[in-house]
């Protein structure tokens, strides 16, 4: 294969490309961000992200939570509004939580909290009842986008429901009132 860079992706149709071949010359790229593919298959945690996590283990000082990241995250038992040694929450394995990522550094397990930046519980905490499903991180971002997602707007005109959407691709839906005609 030739080493001459090209900007036409169609020139590589029906050709073999091996590691080291120059496919596209990016040396003149002004924007330093490059997105590959349609979306991430695995969530990469960032501080400030709101995510849905599942408790997988309970320790004396923290809970281990699966947030679909590269590793398990930990949720300190004091990371709740009014959290004290006397007021430690009890969660069963498999409990669904809506949490905020507080710290996320490469090579370290992320730290979570069930409070907002001001220390209030706000919308964070245990999610009871309802139904949780997994989607792509791209769909989660679309559901959280502004203006609101047209699908959620249309559903809101027919149903009363609550949602919790995590940037990790998990979505929780709880229908407040369901008429038999919607089944």
Query: Does 110 reside within a domain?
Result: yes
What's the longest Cα–Cα distance across the chain? 69
In this structure, is residue 24 part of a structural domain?
A: no
Which CATH number belongs to the domain containing residue 126 in this structure? 2.40.50.140
Per-residue pLDDT at 138:
85
In-domain check, residue 58: yes
How many domains does the chain fold into?
A: 1
Asked, for residue 90, whether it belongs to a domain, the answer is yes
Q: What SS3 class is residue 112? A: strand
Evaluate whether residue 88 is within a structural domain: yes
Q: What is the DSSP string of 32-94?
A: -----SSS-SS----TT-EEEEEEEEE-SSEEEEE-SSSS-EEEETT-STT--SSS-----TT
Model's pTM, two decimal places? 0.72
| Residue 137 pLDDT | 87
Is residue 26, in this structure, part of any structural domain at all?
no
Low-confidence spans in the chain with pLDDT less than 50: 1-2, 4-7
Task: Give the residue numbers spanning the domain of 88.
Answer: 50-177
Q: Report d(CA 163, CA 158) in Å as an integer.
A: 15
How many Å apart are CA 11 and CA 15, to the nearest integer? 8
* pLDDT at site 6: 47
Q: Is residue 4 part of a domain?
A: no
């Amino acid at each position: 294969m030739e080493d001459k860079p090209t900007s036409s992706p169609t020139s590589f149709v029906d050709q073999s490309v091996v590691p080291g071949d120059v496919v596209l010359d990016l040396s003149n790229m002004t924007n330093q961000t490059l997105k590959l593919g349609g979306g991430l298959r695995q969530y990469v945690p960032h501080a400030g992200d709101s995510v849905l996590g599942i408790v997988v283990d309970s320790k004396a000082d923290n809970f281990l939570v699966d947030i679909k990241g590269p590793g398990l995250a930990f949720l300190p038992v004091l990371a709740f509004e009014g959290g004290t040694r006397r007021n430690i929450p009890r969660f069963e394995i498999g409990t669904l939580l809506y949490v905020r990522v507080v710290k996320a550094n490469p090579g370290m397990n992320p730290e979570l909290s069930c409070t907002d930046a001001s220390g209030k519980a706000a919308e964070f905490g245990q999610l009871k009842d309802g139904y949780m499903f997994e989607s792509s991180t791209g769909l989660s971002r679309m559901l959280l986008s502004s203006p609101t997602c047209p699908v959620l707007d249309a559903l809101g005109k027919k149903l009363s429901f609550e949602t919790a959407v995590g940037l990790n691709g998990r979505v929780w839906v709880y229908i407040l009132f369901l008429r038999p005609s919607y089944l």
